[in-house]
Amino acid sequence: MTGHTPGALRGALAAHALWLGTGGEEGERADLSRADLREADLRRADLRRAVLRRADLSGADLREADLSRAVLREADLSGADLREADLSEADLSRADLDYSSWPLWCGSRGAKVSFGFAAQLSAHVWALECDDPRFDGLRGALLPYARQSHRAGDLGLPDDATDDETGE
């Protein structure tokens, strides 16, 4: 599915719901690979185990969607609203998650992400101010990874020449 009409998308989601509900006996697993789902309203959608490889979900509303165990490899999720989305065990390898709202609850447990995204998360954690001095040790441990984020400069991370691993 490269483009989507609301009717075709509803049909694919209904067949997927049947597939999930019957343990694969009826219906069909949703394969929305390469689908153009830019700014789609997928709030509370049940996309467990769906295939969304290289789908364009930029700006999509995925609040409270269930994407657990979904295949989102190389998908464009830039600017997507993922608040309260369940991404547990989802495959987000090489997905673009820039400017998306990554869920900071247990719903992202076990999600598979690229090194680039892990480095970006490390950079954002490194850039936090914390009132506990123990955090300095964590900042030092994260810095080598955080420096590899494409957002390192935007976040003010010190370059490799800085001796102080906390960046201060």
For the chain of 168 residues, list the mean pLDDT of each consecutive stretch of 10: 74 97 97 97 98 98 98 98 96 95 88 94 94 94 95 90 51
Task: Specify whether 109 is located in the same domain as 119.
Answer: no
CA angle 44, 82, 141 (to 5 degrees): 145
Amino acid 163: pLDDT:
44
Number of domains in the chain: 2
Task: Specify whether 95 is located in the same domain as 136.
Answer: no
Domain that holds residue 27: 1-113
Dihedral, CA of residue 115, residue 62, residue 153 and residue 166, to nearest 10: -70
Task: Specify whether 108 is located in the same domain as 74.
Answer: yes
| Domain stops at, among 90, 113, 136 | 113
Task: Specify whether 82 is located in the same domain as 92.
Answer: yes
DSSP 47-95: -TT-B-TT-B-TT-B-TT-B-TT-B-TT-B-TT-B-TT-B-TT-EETT-
Q: Is-contact 90 80, C-beta < 8 A?
A: no
Task: Specify whether 102 is located in the same domain as 154.
Answer: no
| Domain stops at, among 113, 130, 151 | 113
Instruction: Please state the pTM of the whole predicted model.
Output: 0.84
Which 3 state secondary structure label does DSSP give 15?
helix
Task: Specify whether 34 is located in the same domain as 109.
Answer: yes
Q: Is-contact 152 146, C-beta < 8 A?
A: yes
Task: Specify whether 74 is located in the same domain as 92.
Answer: yes
Task: Specify whether 86 is located in the same domain as 47.
Answer: yes
Task: Specify whether 102 is located in the same domain as 151.
Answer: no
Q: Which residues contact 128 (CB under 8 A, 6 or more apart)?
A: 135
Task: Specify whether 124 is located in the same domain as 62.
Answer: no
Which 3 state secondary structure label does DSSP give 116?
helix
| Domain stops at, among 76, 91, 113 | 113
CA distance 62 to 44: 7
Task: Specify whether 108 is located in the same domain as 45.
Answer: yes
Q: Is-contact 75 57, C-beta < 8 A?
A: yes
Amino acid 103: pLDDT:
84
Amino acid 11: pLDDT:
95
Task: Specify whether 64 is located in the same domain as 134.
Answer: no
